[in-house]
Structure 1
Amino acid sequence: MQFIIYIIVYPLLWFISKLPFKLLYLISDAVYVLLYHVFSYRKKVVTNNLKLVFPDKSEKEIVSIRKAFYKHLCDMFLEMAKTMSISEKDLKKRFAIKNPEALKNLENLNKSIIVLYGHYASWEWSLVVEKYINFKGLGVYKPLANKYFDKLVRSIRGKYNTELISTKQTINRITQLENAGTKTITAFLSDQSPRVTKEVYWGKFMGIDVPCFTGAERLAKKLDFTTAYLKINKVKRGHYEAEVITLAEDSKKYPDYALTDLFLAELEQQIYKQPAYYFWTHKRWKHSHKKPK
């Protein structure tokens, strides 16, 4: 069944990837109408999230942000399909690195790099960062249930030699490369909601207590890596700009959870400024009520 679904969907994705951007966004507009007005995809989740983190905004403001978010969401998923065939030249034009010298400065420290991301703007197109640094690119991800689509995703994200590794593989793979003398730049999407345990770290995100993933920070401190945040902004439709922000050149010197808090603070600033570009369909605050008193 997995293969049947794949051979049905793959030609459609390939076809979409070959379309010019103008036509791509016309399709995105049509998908928006279906997703938002017809199927109301996760609209309740999005609305509840927005009201939770923006309690002072009016109903009209919430609706405005919600509509803008769904339009961005449709654009982003079609842009993900476009990644299958987009050229390096075009991708660099549409996903510009504002300060490539910051990557070189980190590279010159001769330490591997941990890069923290949020589900904001276009994290998928950030794969082009690999073209601005000589370190081996790694991306930590959750493998897809459909093995054929999982292989496709690894192929797309590996266009510029980035290697996707599962969470369980992360420590062993990075340590293996370090022992072989290979410096790495590893991307972590770190704003997801982990399972709540007694040991989980609770941080503040958008003014609300949430459990936080701290694996990236612990890895940076344990292996003496530098830590950075990739601040991705949407400039206009189909165009993004990323800024490399150094959080720590010497991660070991920071107290526990300080780097995680710095990351959350950076992401918060972006969301408050342009809330429509955050991934509001994700239930990021679903465990907030579980924090021990």
Structure 2
Amino acid sequence: MQLLAYILIYPILWLVSILPFRLLYLVSDGLYLLLYYLIGYRKKVVYNNLKLVFPEKSETELKKIQKKFYKHLCDMFLEMAKTMTISEKELKKRFKILNPEEFQRLESLNKSVILIFGHYASWEWSIVIQNYVNFKGLAVYKRLANRYFDKLVKDIRSKFNTDLISTKETIHTINDMEAKGIKSVTGFLSDQSPRLTKDVYWGTFMGIDVPCFTGAERLAKKLDLTTVYLKVNKVKRGYYEAEVITLTENPNDYKDYELTDMFLREVEKQIYQAPEYYFWTHKRWKHTR
């Protein structure tokens, strides 16, 4: 069944990937109408999330943000498919690193780097970062249930020589590389909701107490890794800019969970500025207290 689903869907994704960008976004406009007005994909989840974190906004304002978000969501989904065939030159034009010299400075410290970012603007096209660094690029991801699509995602995201590793492989992989003297830049998407356990850290995100992922911070402290936030903004349709913001070069100078809170504050600032570019379909606030 997994193979059948892959055989049926892969050709569609490939055809989308070879479309010129102008045509790609025409398809995205049609997908938006289908997804928002006919299917209504997770509309209730999105609206409830927006209402929860923006209680001061009117229903009209919330609906406006919701529609903008769905347009962005469709763009991002098709951009992900486009990554299958996009050239390095084209991707670097559409996903610009504003201060690549910061990567060079961090590498001069001869310490591996933890790169934290959120589900904001475009995280898929951040794979181009490997072209700006000399350290080995790693990206932590959650395996897909369908092993054929899991391989496809790994192939797409490792297109520019970044290796994808599962959450269970992370500590072992980085420890092994450090023992061999191989320095790395490891990307973590750390703003979503973890499993609820008795020892989970409860932080504040968008004014609400929620459980938070702390794996990036714990790894940074365990191995004394420089910790960086990747601030990605959407400039216009199909174009993004990313800024490298160093949170600390010495993570053990901070109290437990302080770096996690610093990361969340950075994501919040972006959401308040342009909320339509956050990943509202995820049930980020399903656990609250």
Q: Same fold (TM over 0.5)?
A: yes
Aligned to 2:270: 270
Deviation at 1:9, TM superposition (A): 0.7
Aligned to 2:47: 47
Deviation by residue 1:136-161 (Cα, 9 ceiling, x = unmatched) = 01110001111011111111111111
- Summarize the alignment of residues 114-153 of structure 1 with structure 2, pairs less than 5 Å apart: 114-153=114-153
Aligned partner letter, 1:8: L
Aligned to 2:62: 62
Deviation by residue 1:97-128 (Cα, 9 ceiling, x = unmatched) = 01001111111111000011100000000000
Deviation at 1:228, TM superposition (A): 0.3
Aligned to 1:96: 96
Aligned to 1:230: 230
Aligned residues: 289
Aligned partner letter, 1:211: P
Whole-angstrom CA distance in 2 between matches of 1:159 and 1:122: 16
TM-score normalised by L of structure 2: 0.99
Q: What is the SS of the residue equivalent to 1:197? A: coil
Aligned to 1:193: 193
Q: What is the SS of the residue equivalent to 1:288? A: coil
Aligned to 1:210: 210
Q: Does 1:109 align with 2:104?
A: no
Query: What's the C-alpha RMSD, in Å, of the aligned pairs?
Result: 0.5
Deviation at 1:163, TM superposition (A): 0.6
Aligned partner letter, 2:214: T
Q: What is the SS of the residue equivalent to 1:227? A: strand
Deviation at 1:252, TM superposition (A): 1.3
Q: What is the SS of the residue equivalent to 1:276? A: helix
Whole-angstrom CA distance in 2 between matches of 1:200 and 1:144: 24
Deviation at 1:39, TM superposition (A): 0.6
Which ranges of structure 2 fall in alignment gaps of 5 or more residues?
Answer: none
Aligned to 2:173: 173
Which ranges of structure 1 fall in alignment gaps of 5 or more residues?
Answer: none
- Summarize the alignment of residues 18-57 of structure 1 with structure 2, pairs less than 5 Å apart: 18-57=18-57
Deviation at 1:197, TM superposition (A): 1.4
Deviation at 1:198, TM superposition (A): 1.6
Aligned partner letter, 2:197: T
TM-score normalised by L of structure 1: 0.98
Whole-angstrom CA distance in 2 between matches of 1:186 and 1:273: 27
Aligned partner letter, 1:54: F
Aligned partner letter, 2:156: I
Whole-angstrom CA distance in 2 between matches of 1:78 and 1:273: 24
Q: What is the SS of the residue equivalent to 1:55? A: coil
Moved more, 103-112 or 21-30: 103-112
Deviation at 1:195, TM superposition (A): 1.2
How many percent of aligned residue pairs carry the same amino acid? 70
Deviation at 1:192, TM superposition (A): 1.1
